[in-house]
Protein backbone atom coordinates (compact mmCIF):
# COMPACT_ATOMS: atom_id res chain seq x y z
CA UNK A 1 0.00 0.00 0.00
CA UNK A 2 1.56 3.37 -0.98
CA UNK A 3 2.45 5.85 1.72
CA UNK A 4 0.33 8.96 2.00
CA UNK A 5 2.34 12.15 1.75
CA UNK A 6 1.76 14.85 4.33
CA UNK A 7 0.77 18.12 2.71
CA UNK A 8 3.19 20.93 3.63
CA UNK A 9 1.80 24.00 5.29
CA UNK A 10 3.29 27.45 5.90
CA UNK A 11 3.99 26.35 9.47
CA UNK A 12 6.28 23.59 8.14
CA UNK A 13 8.40 26.21 6.38
CA UNK A 14 8.88 28.43 9.44
CA UNK A 15 11.78 27.97 11.85
CA UNK A 16 10.92 25.59 14.68
CA UNK A 17 10.99 26.78 18.29
CA UNK A 18 13.20 24.42 20.27
CA UNK A 19 11.64 25.35 23.63
CA UNK A 20 14.84 26.68 25.18
CA UNK A 21 14.51 30.21 23.77
CA UNK A 22 16.34 29.42 20.55
CA UNK A 23 14.96 28.66 17.13
CA UNK A 24 16.03 25.92 14.77
CA UNK A 25 16.84 27.29 11.30
CA UNK A 26 16.87 25.25 8.10
CA UNK A 27 16.86 25.70 4.34
CA UNK A 28 13.92 27.09 2.39
CA UNK A 29 12.23 24.54 0.13
CA UNK A 30 13.51 24.54 -3.45
CA UNK A 31 11.25 26.17 -6.05
CA UNK A 32 8.95 23.76 -7.86
CA UNK A 33 9.86 22.81 -11.42
CA UNK A 34 7.49 23.05 -14.30
CA UNK A 35 8.34 19.84 -16.13
CA UNK A 36 6.14 20.62 -19.12
CA UNK A 37 7.87 23.97 -19.62
CA UNK A 38 11.31 22.32 -19.35
CA UNK A 39 10.38 19.63 -21.88
CA UNK A 40 9.03 22.24 -24.32
CA UNK A 41 12.59 23.61 -24.50
CA UNK A 42 13.90 20.15 -25.42
CA UNK A 43 11.18 19.73 -28.06
CA UNK A 44 12.10 23.11 -29.56
CA UNK A 45 15.77 22.09 -29.81
CA UNK A 46 14.84 18.84 -31.59
CA UNK A 47 12.48 20.67 -33.96
CA UNK A 48 15.23 23.14 -34.92
CA UNK A 49 17.71 20.29 -35.42
CA UNK A 50 15.28 18.48 -37.73
CA UNK A 51 14.56 21.71 -39.63
CA UNK A 52 18.29 22.31 -40.06
CA UNK A 53 18.87 18.75 -41.34
CA UNK A 54 15.99 18.95 -43.81
CA UNK A 55 17.23 22.31 -45.11
CA UNK A 56 20.61 20.87 -46.09
CA UNK A 57 22.90 20.60 -43.06
CA UNK A 58 24.85 17.35 -42.75
CA UNK A 59 23.65 14.72 -40.31
CA UNK A 60 26.98 14.83 -38.42
CA UNK A 61 26.77 18.62 -37.98
CA UNK A 62 23.16 18.45 -36.79
CA UNK A 63 23.87 15.67 -34.27
CA UNK A 64 27.02 17.42 -32.97
CA UNK A 65 25.11 20.67 -32.56
CA UNK A 66 22.19 18.88 -30.91
CA UNK A 67 24.48 17.15 -28.40
CA UNK A 68 26.29 20.40 -27.59
CA UNK A 69 23.01 22.26 -27.09
CA UNK A 70 21.56 19.57 -24.82
CA UNK A 71 24.78 19.43 -22.79
CA UNK A 72 24.66 23.22 -22.36
CA UNK A 73 21.01 23.05 -21.27
CA UNK A 74 21.93 20.37 -18.75
CA UNK A 75 24.86 22.33 -17.33
CA UNK A 76 22.75 25.48 -16.97
CA UNK A 77 20.10 23.47 -15.15
CA UNK A 78 22.51 21.76 -12.75
CA UNK A 79 25.20 24.45 -12.45
CA UNK A 80 23.60 27.91 -12.51
CA UNK A 81 25.74 30.97 -13.05
CA UNK A 82 27.86 31.83 -10.03
CA UNK A 83 27.86 34.86 -7.84
CA UNK A 84 26.78 35.80 -4.36
CA UNK A 85 23.34 34.51 -3.55
CA UNK A 86 22.87 32.78 -6.90
CA UNK A 87 22.17 29.10 -7.32
CA UNK A 88 22.37 27.98 -3.71
CA UNK A 89 19.64 27.23 -1.28
CA UNK A 90 18.44 30.11 0.86
CA UNK A 91 18.32 29.95 4.62
CA UNK A 92 14.93 29.95 6.27
CA UNK A 93 15.72 32.58 8.92
CA UNK A 94 13.30 33.86 11.53
CA UNK A 95 11.89 37.35 10.93
CA UNK A 96 14.00 40.24 12.25
CA UNK A 97 13.15 41.56 15.68
CA UNK A 98 12.28 45.21 16.04
CA UNK A 99 15.19 47.58 16.74
CA UNK A 100 13.81 48.49 20.15
CA UNK A 101 14.06 44.83 21.24
CA UNK A 102 17.66 44.57 20.07
CA UNK A 103 18.78 47.77 21.83
CA UNK A 104 17.31 46.75 25.20
Domain residue ranges in the chain: 38-77
Q: How many Å apart are CA 27 and CA 92, to the nearest integer? A: 5
Helix (H) or strand (E) holding 103: helix 99-103
Q: Which residues on adjacent β-strands are paired with residue 17? A: 23
Would you say the pTM of this structure is higher than 0.75? no
Question: Which percentage of the chain shows pLDDT scores above 90?
Answer: 32
Instruction: Identify whether the C-beta of residue 25 lies closer than 8 Å to the C-beta of residue 92.
Output: yes
How does the average pLDDT of the chain come out, rounded? 74
Residue 17's φ and ψ, nearest 5 degrees, are: -80, 125
Average of per-residue pLDDT across 7-36: 64
Closest residue by Cα to residue 12 from 96, 92, 103: 92
Amino acid sequence: MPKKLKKKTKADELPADTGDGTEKVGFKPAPAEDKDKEWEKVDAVFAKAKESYLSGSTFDDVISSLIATLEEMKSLKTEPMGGLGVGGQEMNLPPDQGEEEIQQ
